[in-house]
Structure 1
Amino acid sequence: MDDESDTGYLDYVNGRIPALRRVAFLLSGDEHQADDLVQETITKVYAKWPRIAQVENVDAYVHTMLVRAFLDEKRRGWWRVSLRDVPPERPAAATPGMEDREVLRAALGRIPARQQAVLVLRFLCDRSVAEAAQLLGCSEGTVKSQTSHGLAALRRILGDRVGGGR
């Protein structure tokens, strides 16, 4: 890439990292995994920047890349085991409202990745059905059905915690 293209890439990425990290954290529920997802995404963006810079809606394109990186990560599954010679860091002390977030995060982690992505995009990132469909590369009907199935799964998982269960 030439210097002008590098400058455009750096300007774009520096302005978007907080938003990308927020979405990645909402999808993954883990700060370190969120950082990995953002790093993977911005690396791919750099490799394709001259072409991406010409896209009409760069933000939507990059968010699609981020969501797909998350879904790919979920598909890789079990073999991505981290072997360490020291125990992992302890989680931070709980703050008010933290328990509810942890319960929701745990419940989201128990539903299929596609449903998880749809629910995060729709309700935590406040995306419309059309925007979520575009980011996920599927139809609006699929987003609606995945939302319905995901919410039903969360209700089953959370049961009494959300007002009585069934």
Structure 2
Amino acid sequence: MRKSRADEFLEFASARTGHLFRSACLLTSGDTHLAEDLTQETLGRMYAMWGRMARIGNPAAYAQTVLVRTFLSHQRRRSATERPLGELPDRAPENGEDPALRIALLDALAGLAPKDRAVVVLRYWEDRSIEETADALHVSSAAVRTRSVRALAKLRQRLGGNIAEFATR
């Protein structure tokens, strides 16, 4: 018996939500609330066009592309610069994560322009090729290479001497 489209989408969404959320967290420099919103909007857009997924060879890669485009669209809005303030709850590190490293990297990513951040996340977190990143962002391969070099230089500058310390952990 053939699965319905809704069942197929539910299976896809269950499998990809965690990955989309982690990518969104990196894009938003750790803003989990915005990351949840971006993930939800991405899944909503994917559901709306799920019937046409047969033409798209890789729905997971397409979902990542939709996520990045949704993030960039959000960054263009005026309200994107508003940041809620408040105390962050103290919590113990989970699964051996290093809070100092996480905070330093998220702060460094936050200092990048949205498109530079998107290039870094797609190229080095998602491990996409230059061509795949260029397709996702609708730019040329040369633009991706240029943005990668400049973004990595900015990250090195922001992390300073700490980058060697982080690499040994």
Indicate the TM-score class for this superposition, using the shorter chain for normalisation. Answer: 0.7 to 0.9
* Aligned position for 1:26: 26
Say if 1:122 and 1:92 are closer, same or farther in 2 by CA, change over 3 A. farther
* Aligned position for 1:43: 44
Say if 1:14 and 1:79 are closer, same or farther in 2 by CA, change over 3 A. closer
Structure 2 residues not aligned, in runs of 5+: 165-169
Amino acid at match of 2:53: I
TM-fit CA distance, 1:68:
0.5
TM-fit CA distance, 1:137:
2.0
C-alpha distance in 2 between matches for 1:79 and 1:128: 29
TM-fit CA distance, 1:161:
2.7
TM-fit CA distance, 1:65:
0.3
Higher alpha-carbon deviation: 19-28 or 153-162: 153-162
Structure 1 residues not aligned, in runs of 5+: none
TM-fit CA distance, 1:144:
0.6
C-alpha distance in 2 between matches for 1:11 and 1:88: 37
Could you give the per-residue CA deviations for residues 113-158 of structure 1, whole angstroms, max 9, x where no partner exists?
1111111122222222122222222221111100011011122222
Secondary structure at 1:93 match in 2: coil
| RMSD, matched Cα | 2.3
TM-score, with length taken from structure 2: 0.81
* Aligned position for 1:161: 162
Aligned length: 158
TM-score, with length taken from structure 1: 0.82
Q: Which runs of structure 2 are paired with 1:43-122 in the superposition (5 Å)?
A: 43-78=44-79, 81=82, 88=86, 90-93=88-91, 95=93, 97-122=98-123
Report if aligned partners of 2:122, 2:133 keep a CA contact under 8 Å in 1.
yes
Amino acid at match of 2:46: V
Identity across aligned pairs (percent)?
37
* Aligned position for 1:6: 6
